[in-house]
Structure 1
Amino acid sequence: MKKETLLIVAFITLLVSCTENKKSVQSEEQKPDTYQVKIDSLLKAYDKNDEFMGSVILSQNGKTVYENTVGFSDINSKKKASAKTKYRIGSVTKSFTATLIFKAIEENKLEINKTIESYFPNVKNANKITIAQLLQHRSGIHSFTKDKWFFDNRTRYISSTEMLSKISKYESDFEPNTKGEYSNSNYFLLALILEKTYNTSYENLLQEKICKPLNLNNTYSGKEIDINDNESYSYNYDEKWTEFPETDLSTATGTGSIVSTPKDLNTFFEGLLTGKILSDESLTLMKTIKDRYGMGLFRYTTNDRQGFGHRGRIDEFRATSIYFSKENLSFTLISNGSKIDVNEIYTEILKLFLGDASVAISENELKKFVGVYVSQSDPNDKSVLIQENNTLINLIKNEFKAPLIYRGENRFVLEQMYAESVSFIFSEDGKQVTLEQGGDKGTPRIKE
């Protein structure tokens, strides 16, 4: 279990990023149709203030329950974006690549614990790095997107041979499997392994193994943006929206090369995570989290619900796709221009849709949970909880105030945008609290 000081990093980042933006609407009991009006209103406000362009879709039990698009796919020609607009999805591509790797494993063409020296003998530590470690960002291979060379050359065609040569020259960032650290190089190499294994292109494999079986008719490996084929440009904002120079997707094979629509992404993640593509054994491995990373998936907690998916960014495109299995709910947001952190936007939309009501608790009942709770394993690790009216507050470093949401049965939740929510589970008398995050429980803390 992480110490509180580590748990709170994400909250502080959230606090800073959200200060100047719209506050989340506190959830209330909603009639089934009111979330459409509220989400429409939110997106309309973003659009009116030139704060966001993009598309949102929510699907439940395989049916679209909300869909909306604001802004332009091409500002110069005043072409409005629509539900048919196709966007670059950035690192959401990695979920497709991981799926293809597991398909190859299930077809007995690859072994997950096989080292990669036979494919890439010149990559540092290739004789120690396994396919599993590439999938889970535990290889230690330096990410090419951290190299200034990449940003100086990203808009030109770069062959796989040149990319591999660059990656092979990097010194390792750490010994394989000692920790997790995100690296685009991992998934570029996985794409090359797939092409060598099947002796065909990544695009052919994508279509044959995933897109055709799931009827993803608007998902493919991108080339130069074609606005006449319903593809979108991306934009940054500096007094006005300005088209962002597009990355040549030759540099992003397997890591960020796919173009898709929100509807196709919902179909993909629902299909993947309900076993329509891979076996339960493969899905279990994909969802196993170490140092925050699964094998092509991330775990998300929103409104105290757990889902799996991925997010991505390339140029000024940003995408987030999550599937919540318990609710059979798929969510995708893709933006081609935003002045607001899109994580804030998607969190807000999900709150409006889910409409969760916090459990009522009186000011008098709340008093027994107020105090300083000290970890039994580390006396310096403390949780300071104060009360403001009928809200319990986690006071962080005597400076930041994190409100906790009461979920009943002596459990309060700290929701975080950039990390999983943290549960504060109290004893009946309020003299002890245990912190839980992502299924991991910390040492009990006793009130001073």
Structure 2
Amino acid sequence: MNTVKFKQNVKFFTLLLSLCLLLSGCRNNLVPFTKGQSVDQYVDSLSFSGAVLIVDQGEIVLSKGVGLVDRKGTETINADTVFRLGSVSKQFTATAILLLQQKGLLNIDEPVATYLPDFPHGDIISIKNLLQHTSGIPNYTEFKNFGVIATQYHSPAQLVAMFKDLPLEFTPGTRFNYSNSGYVLLGYLIEVVSGISYEEFITTEIFSPLLMTRSGYGENTFGNDNIAHGYTSFGAPASSIDMSVPYAAGALSSTLNDLFRWDHSFYENALLTKASKALLYRPGLNNYAMGWAVSTGDNGRVYHHGGLIHGFSSFIARYPEEQRLIVVLANEEGYDVAGLADQLNKLINSN
């Protein structure tokens, strides 16, 4: 496998494709694995709090929780513990857009202005530009006052208003620049076109059909039932964030069991047609497709994405040619989840 290229890519997307303000520190306590060591033994050897799922040839190899849901309590993490996904949410937003296209309600090649006529520059920005981070719209999570913004409720329209009148950073389609703003605009577009909220659309069109019963918008859906508490890399409780702010760019939560159902749906064409899946995974600039980054190595093509949000780090990698899936969810901000996923993949290959 071209491990250098893959590792560079997964680290890039873990660190940059995120919603966090700034990392207070990134902790890497990964140790080399020993040949012949099981993935279970390797995970146990790490200083890690979270959950790991490994699927190979369509079968679950490891589904394991490590550590406590709340470090002040005694409840242990398991495959049904709910974690914030951060930017891993983007693949669900992208899928929602393609579902709307399948219904004939939009066309990703059309300009945003077709559906949002009052959006500035909407005549030169396509929906595909938003999906592939080539719109040129400034990233609102990099605004200097985002620390204040993050603690307050904002409606989708209020979020869009933060960046809609700003000048574009480049001509749409000419460059790649990761922008959470683009995915916020996609969420708003979903609401306008479908006539229901983003949360309701994702729930009724994706989570419910796939029986992803412990996935949702934020964590409010689940009360206090097995919800992971987030921590900084120094072990302190993470700062709060109003989940209306990450919105369609990163406000979803899920579990290992539900993400297994999500992965399985792509092999069954449960939601998207083959044509839509081809669009979803077709790489654009910087090898970024639609809510997924794309790499190639000894295991064939890899679709992956990282997420980072207050108190949580996440990473998901799909190896469709081997029906392999690796998911790492940590209730610690800045944990090297991409590096851990890469090590686990190497360990499987070595055995």
Tell me which interval the TM-score lies in, with the shorter structure as reference length.
0.7 to 0.9
Out of 190, 193, 196, the position equivalent to 1:197 is: 193
Question: Which amino acid is 2:330 matched to?
Answer: S
Q: Sort the Cα spacing of 1:172 and 1:122 in 2 relative to 1 into closer, same or farther, 3 A.
A: farther
Contact 1:303 1:351 (8 Å CA) reproduced: no
Partner of 2:258: 264
Question: Which amino acid is 1:162 matched to?
Answer: Q
Q: Sort the Cα spacing of 1:308 and 1:284 in 2 relative to 1 into closer, same or farther, 3 A.
A: same
Partner of 2:21: none
- Aligned pair count reads 334
Q: Percent identity?
A: 26
Query: 2:113 and 2:119 mapped to 1: Cα distance?
Result: 8
How far has the Cα of 1:275 moved from its partner? Answer: 2.3
Q: CA offsets per residue over residues 239-275 of structure 1, 9 Å max, x none?
A: xx11102311111221111110022112212313552
Partner of 2:339: 344
Q: Sort the Cα spacing of 1:339 and 1:9 in 2 relative to 1 into closer, same or farther, 3 A.
A: closer
Query: 1:116 and 1:159 mapped to 2: Cα distance?
Result: 20
Q: CA offsets per residue over residues 173-231 of structure 1, 9 Å max, x none?
A: 11100011111111111111111111111121112211122111111111459672211
Query: 1:23 and 1:229 mapped to 2: Cα distance?
Result: 33
Question: Which amino acid is 2:198 matched to?
Answer: Y
SS at match of 1:155: coil
How far has the Cα of 1:118 moved from its partner? Answer: 4.4
TM-score (norm 1): 0.68
Q: CA offsets per residue over residues 60-80 of structure 1, 9 Å max, x none?
A: 344322111111221123432
Out of 240, 245, 250, the position equivalent to 2:244 is: 250
Partner of 2:87: 91
Query: 1:7 and 1:306 mapped to 2: Cα distance?
Result: 13
Larger-gyration structure (1/2): 1
Give the structure, 1 or 2, with the largest relative contact order (CA under 8 Å, sep 6 or more).
2
Q: Sort the Cα spacing of 1:8 and 1:22 in 2 relative to 1 into closer, same or farther, 3 A.
A: closer
Out of 314, 319, 329, the position equivalent to 1:319 is: 314
Say what the alpha-carbon RMSD is for the aligned residues. 2.8
SS at match of 2:229: coil
Structure 1: runs of 5+ lacking an equivalent: 1-5, 357-448
Partner of 2:42: 42
Query: 2:28 and 2:246 mapped to 1: Cα distance?
Result: 34
Contact 1:273 1:323 (8 Å CA) reproduced: no
Query: 1:236 and 1:18 mapped to 2: Cα distance?
Result: 9
- Bigger fraction of residues in strand: 1
Out of 168, 172, 176, the position equivalent to 1:176 is: 172
Query: 2:294 and 2:148 mapped to 1: Cα distance?
Result: 33
TM-score (norm 2): 0.86
Question: Which amino acid is 1:230 matched to?
Answer: N
SS at match of 1:66: strand
